[in-house]
């Protein structure tokens, strides 16, 4: 059975293909180099079909992640509800809705050059399926939280066996995702991209705006919530907040203005309020469902600090968070729902790796470099590991391009930039000279799963870097460049079974330094998607302050590259 899942036309478009037990998936932005690319994922679809060695005519079903007519109905209803304020917004947006957004199947069928059987899966149902079906749980509570699907912004339900059902929801415009995006906007960051910056900035402030932010949202005893829409405008225009909100808190920070303590304090307040809202939802869900395990998806599921709070205080024994928690993961969720629920096929094996994208052979990488007359060394695997570990121990920053590309926004050892976490200056070095981004941005850590408990206070695995753990007090001075101001760290636990080469590199670095932990950040520059191809990796390497580049067992150092020019 071959099922193609597609998410498109809003943001983070992606495609996923189920071909029997094999799964392929990729985000469109990685191919087009347009971050959060909202277009039809032509390149991602082509990749999936090419990897499976099939053509469009051989697909059994194409599953689309959303029901566009339901979303159009909600859009029109909102515009009428907020008329006349929404008139300008309605006039600009309606032609787009009546075009490609209403009939994605026509565009997809045209690209596949065949008449396909299509199934429309609801937005939050796609999120739910993407989290529950790949989990290892026989049954679990399910939570989906994002900006908005067709009409809902938050849904809860239960997955059992081959079935996942959502039974409660909060309707737009009441949205935790939009609330957090509004705070992102007020802080001068780009909506749908800068929310992670707010999460990082929060640790630098104190929640000093509780009184003001408390006026914006009401938490109810049943786990629902409501926004005071007098302070927001996202339901009637492209502007996120109303003048009333800027008067209540402060005027929006322009992107070129410095970040002041008040901005840090608002970020801390927004993060705290979000966490409290999520804890309210999940504790109610735990009590109501009677389930011991929880699956999470939706864009808000990418807030790793909140995920850590849910694990610690939500009442569940274990949680699984879809690594492509945002809309890109809906492509996989739509395909899984169609397979398990609509076609009655058994659930897939539990997801232990998100390495579902393109890989490149060592020989093709070598030929690519030879054509460009770039000097490189071709090493054996053991020599690659020892060489890279030594460079990292010597405080060199290394681009690590290995195997299949990750699916979702986290770099997990396939397309990563690695550095020495022991050096207290490394955080500033990588932020300023490699990533060219704000100095407050924190970094994640990769650690062998078998020694993770020695460094982090945690009780569950974190293979997808979706949880924040407390760093043990006695270890904080050992890994200062990945220990955040509040003593926490976003953590990836690595097993030999899932990634033998990256696991071996961590152990080799530990043998040299006594600390088997690496600073791991995504292989990209500020404002760009994570690299996909050797060409992307080389460009990023040459345009940044990285010292070395390891693509499979091919090794390049900046000094030898510079001497050739």
Give the pair of three-digit tokens for residue 376.
Answer: 């490189």
How far is the C-alpha of 77 from the C-alpha of 88, rounded, in Å? 15
Grouping H, G, I as helix, E, B as strand and the rest as coil, residue 168 is: strand
Grouping H, G, I as helix, E, B as strand and the rest as coil, residue 143 is: strand
Q: What is the DSSP string of 303-317?
A: -HHHHHHHHHHSS-S
The 3 state secondary structure assigned to 497-513 is CCCHHHHHHHHHHHHHH
CB 531 within 8 A of CB 525: no
Give the pair of three-digit tokens for residue 253.
Answer: 């920070």
239: phi then psi, degrees, rounded to nearest 5 = -85, 135
How far is the C-alpha of 364 from the C-alpha of 552, rounded, in Å? 11
List residues bridging with 415 in a β-sheet. 401
Pairing of strands 488-494, 444-448: parallel
Q: Give which of 139, 136, 155 is closest to 300, Cα–Cα.
A: 155
Of the listed 9, 11, 124, 127, which one is catalytic?
Answer: 11
CB 230 within 8 A of CB 179: no
Told to judge if 11 belongs to the known catalytic residues of this protein, a careful annotator would answer yes
Q: How far apart are the first and last CA of the chain?
A: 52
Q: What is the DSSP string of 424-490?
A: TTHHHHIIIIIS---TT---EEEEEGGGHHHHEE-SS--TTS-EEEEEPGGGTTTSTTT--TTSEEE
How far is the C-alpha of 329 from the C-alpha of 314, rounded, in Å? 24
Residues tagged active-site: 11
């Amino acid at each position: 059975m071959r099922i193609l899942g597609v998410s498109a036309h809003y943001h983070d478009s992606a495609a996923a293909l189920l071909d029997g037990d094999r799964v392929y998936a990729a985000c469109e932005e990685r191919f087009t180099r347009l971050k959060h690319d909202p277009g039809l994922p032509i390149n991602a679809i082509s990749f999936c079909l090419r990897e499976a060695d099939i053509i469009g005519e051989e697909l059994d079903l194409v599953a689309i992640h959303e029901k566009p007519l339901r979303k159009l109905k909600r859009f029109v209803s909102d515009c009428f509800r907020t008329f006349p304020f929404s008139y300008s917004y309605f006039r600009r947006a309606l032609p787009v809705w009546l075009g490609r957004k209403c009939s994605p199947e026509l565009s997809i069928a045209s690209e596949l050059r065949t008449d396909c059987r299509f199934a429309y899966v609801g937005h939050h149902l796609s999120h739910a399926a993407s989290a529950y079906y790949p989990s290892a749980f026989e049954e679990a509570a399910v939570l989906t939280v994002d900006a908005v699907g067709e009409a809902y912004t938050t849904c809860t339900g239960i997955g059992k066996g081959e079935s996942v059902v959502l039974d409660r929801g909060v309707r737009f415009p009441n949205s935790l995702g939009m609330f957090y995006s509004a705070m992102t906007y007020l802080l001068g960051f780009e909506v749908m991209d800068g929310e992670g910056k707010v999460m990082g900035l929060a640790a630098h402030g104190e929640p000093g705006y509780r009184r003001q932010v408390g006026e914006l949202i009401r938490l109810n005893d049943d786990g629902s919530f409501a926004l005071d829409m007098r302070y927001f405008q996202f339901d009637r225009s492209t502007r996120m907040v109303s003048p009333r909100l800027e008067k209540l808190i402060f005027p929006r920070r322009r992107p070129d203005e410095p970040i002041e303590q008040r901005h840090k304090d608002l970020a801390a307040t927004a993060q705290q309020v979000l966490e409290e809202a999520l804890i309210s939802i999940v504790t109610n869900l735990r009590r109501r469902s009677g389930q011991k395990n929880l699956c999470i998806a939706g864009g808000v599921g990418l807030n790793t600090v909140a995920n850590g709070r849910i694990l610690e205080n939500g009442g569940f024994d274990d949680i699984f968070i879809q690594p492509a928690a945002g809309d890109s993961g809906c492509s996989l969720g739509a395909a899984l729902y169609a397979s398990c629920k609509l076609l009655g096929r058994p659930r897939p094996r539990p997801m232990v790796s998100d390495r579902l994208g393109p890989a490149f052979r060592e020989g093709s990488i070598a030929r690519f470099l030879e054509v460009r007359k770039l000097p490189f060394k071709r090493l054996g695997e053991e020599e690659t590991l020892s060489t890279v570990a030594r460079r990292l121990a010597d405080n060199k920053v290394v681009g690590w391009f290995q195997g299949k590309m990750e699916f979702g926004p986290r770099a997990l050892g396939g397309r990563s930039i690695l550095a020495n976490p022991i050096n207290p200056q490394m955080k500033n070095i990588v932020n300023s000279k490699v990533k060219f981004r704000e100095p407050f941005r924190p970094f994640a850590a990769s650690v062998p799963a078998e020694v993770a408990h020695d460094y982090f206070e945690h009780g569950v695995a974190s293979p997808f870097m979706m949880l924040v753990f407390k760093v043990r007090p006695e270890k904080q001075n050992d890994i200062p460049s990945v220990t955040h101001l509040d003593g926490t760290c976003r953590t990836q636990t690595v097993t030999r079974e899932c990634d033998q080469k990256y696991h071996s590199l961590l152990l080799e670095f530990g043998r040299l330094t006594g600390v088997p932990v690496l600073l791991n950040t995504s292989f990209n520059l500020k404002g760009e998607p994570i690299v996909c191809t050797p060409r992307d990796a080389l460009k990023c390497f040459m345009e940044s302050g990285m010292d070395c580049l390891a693509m499979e067992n091919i090794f390049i150092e900046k000094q030898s590259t510079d001497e050739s020019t």
